[in-house]
Structure 1
């Protein structure tokens, strides 16, 4: 009991921020889930649906490298409040367009791009705020807690969103999104104080100089840089997967909205279990080995189960194997970054990281949509029943997406094997906890 009281005292501000921001993230995630289903139902195109994510990530990637300078200079709390308010305003615009029957896919592209632009400043500010609010000895625990909430969001999003879409309409989902924003906004404004991390050099630097200092830090710390590039390669495979996965589940026999919701829910449960494991695990002898093994398990299982499977239970098994170790990977990577990068440098370095680590995501989403719509689905149309590919991946719409997932599995495994041999990454294990 005394240990729990001490923990709550140490993490009081973080706990308020974590709970309320997680609630707001749940609302936003439900809206995004509903809009993905709306887009695919309206257009039936993996590419047009994937473009929603491309438009979110493209400005985020392009501008992130400069955002760290602003994040380090400006008040973290104000940045988060303004960014959240802007996101809520975009949600209100969607609701108004929906109510007047005027909502078009290009509206969502524009709004997602604007949200992505605001996230470039909000994300590093949020990351640094968590470092400031969290005692160093609680980094791994806090990372596990964040993974736990993200997993819970993954579980609840498809359940609540699918239920509300079936019983009511998208209007109610958006209203709940706005309600959760209000709770998070008031809590951050009134109950959370984020101390300032003083660094006189940041005040004197221009935006370009700050961006350069973040890149220079990575240039002189090859282990961190190569770990980021490893994640960039994984993110490419994962984003092609994310563009392909809904198209396959929604198109396959035995699939559909409910099946997509079930598989997503199981994914969330797997991540929830992984988050609990990450929170209670003792400090590993090698964080790098934990990262490499977790990613290898993910890449070598889920894609193949989804590619060869033809039923919800098999897809769910693949999802469990693919996602249960991801929170463990995230927590160990998070501890490495927070321990290795000085707090006064984190905004700039995290922004440089965001550009390098996430630039492959919009490329992957776009390429995934093109490959599904223009290459693999048309190719599988000409496969006759009884032929090898038709036997392995089935026939009809969705079979091309399944074939692409198989290719992604091979690419993912090769990526893990190649980066596992990088000696600079393994040197990160010498960091003193």
Structure 2
């Protein structure tokens, strides 16, 4: 049995240490983020106010990511990760200080989230390249599946643990756990993980300015339309998904049958579905068509969950929607990750991943901002003016939260149209016959 496991995870021993400890740290960070979203919504009762937390986190990430990759290709990956993780911990400590003195305000969280996003801008490309350096090519799918699994596990545990700690001990306990997970991951990275350094900026590229190096990432994407169009596909999906994420707390914390417990259960079911999908994709062989796996996974997700959230009237239906909507997302993520790592040369990955981050994720803050505005200013006022016997009231209910439900119905169709459009993109399908060796 042990020999079989050694064969199954051959070459992944150092990666597993990094993966497990960084996943543990991500759990603490996610718990703090979850608790602060609840705190913000309870302070203001506004979807826009709470969604701005994520907007502030992603804004520096999107604006500066394209330059971060050029720096990441030059810098020591391990040292970059250690410094950025420490900076994030300092941001968490600042929140704790404001809480302890009774001076925490919503704008403080916006500033802290922006600073944390800045650190993540540099940490993410370094982490992505570190995974490639620690993982044999033949184990790319397994490593991607394991990362999807840990992300899914965090999605399950973060709301459950955060809700439990909030109820029993308060937000101080959540932050204390976050700092404990950071310390564990930091020490393991220092003492037990050796990331091999390779010259990823060869020749004249190594002497070029950061601006020129960033342009090289964009130029690579311009010359590889399949990769570029795949990124634009995900950017469009991220826009729809971010509107969903902005509206979800507003609906589940406001409408009849909703509560903090309902939000935690739906979030936990999302994580359970991700765990199940991640476990499956980790041990399955590569599909015959990675592009088809990506397209069908996203189409299934978009055509199930949003309708059930819009038309459902209780936690069981909302949980079913979460399971159906997220079960195949690990399939999409794993095959996308494998395509990127297979097609993008290792010496270009930092620059290309950062260009990808800017293009693929700029729609996330836009979606959160749009979702908050649509809930507060458009759909909730519209539903508040409807009679009980009107068709919208029959479909989506009445009272606060019904407007968010109506919005879910709209974005369901938006997501389906995006999937059908990009499924016909010939440049994406051409990736099936290409490979970087």
Query: TM over 0.5, yes or no?
Result: yes
> Does residue 276 of structure 2 align to residue 273 of structure 1?
yes
Give distance in 2, aligned partners of 1:195 and 1:203: 18
1:250 is matched with 253
Cα deviation for residue 281 of structure 1 reads 1.6
Note the 1:133-212 alignment, pairs <5 A: 133-198=134-199, 199-201=201-203, 202-212=205-215
> Does residue 399 of structure 2 align to residue 400 of structure 1?
no
Give distance in 2, aligned partners of 1:432 and 1:423: 16
1:17 is matched with 18
> Does residue 73 of structure 2 align to residue 72 of structure 1?
yes
Give distance in 1, aligned partners of 2:287 and 2:26: 30
Normalised by the size of structure 1, how large is the TM-score? 0.99
1:427 to 417, 421, 430: 430
2:344 to 314, 336, 341: 341
3-state secondary structure, aligned to 2:218: helix
2:104 is matched with 103
Give distance in 2, aligned partners of 1:183 and 1:102: 29
Report the more deviating stretch, 203-212 or 128-137: 203-212
Detail structure 1 runs of 4+ shifted over 4 Å in the superposition: none
3-state secondary structure, aligned to 1:251: coil
Cα deviation for residue 124 of structure 1 reads 0.5
3-state secondary structure, aligned to 2:253: helix
Say whether the 8 Å CA contact 1:68–1:352 is kept in structure 2: yes
Give distance in 1, aligned partners of 2:221 and 2:400: 45
2:40 is matched with 39
Give distance in 1, aligned partners of 2:57 and 2:158: 19
2:419 is matched with 416
The number of residue pairs the alignment matches comes to: 433
Give distance in 2, aligned partners of 1:298 and 1:233: 14
Q: Deviations over 1:279-301 (max 9, x none)?
A: 12211110000000000000001
1:261 is matched with 264
2:316 is matched with 313
1:292 to 295, 320, 323: 295
Give distance in 2, aligned partners of 1:7 and 1:401: 45
Give distance in 1, aligned partners of 2:334 and 2:364: 21
Give distance in 2, aligned partners of 1:331 and 1:139: 9
2:85 is matched with 84
Give distance in 2, aligned partners of 1:137 and 1:47: 44
Normalised by the size of structure 2, how large is the TM-score? 0.98
Cα deviation for residue 6 of structure 1 reads 3.7
Say whether the 8 Å CA contact 1:376–1:403 is kept in structure 2: yes
Say whether the 8 Å CA contact 1:306–1:318 is kept in structure 2: yes
Give distance in 2, aligned partners of 1:60 and 1:164: 30
3-state secondary structure, aligned to 2:257: coil
2:305 to 274, 280, 302: 302
Cα deviation for residue 216 of structure 1 reads 0.5
Q: Deviations over 1:21-75 (max 9, x none)?
A: 0000000000001001000111100000000000000110000011111000000
3-state secondary structure, aligned to 1:291: helix
2:357 is matched with 354
Give distance in 2, aligned partners of 1:336 and 1:13: 23
3-state secondary structure, aligned to 2:386: coil
Cα deviation for residue 432 of structure 1 reads 4.6
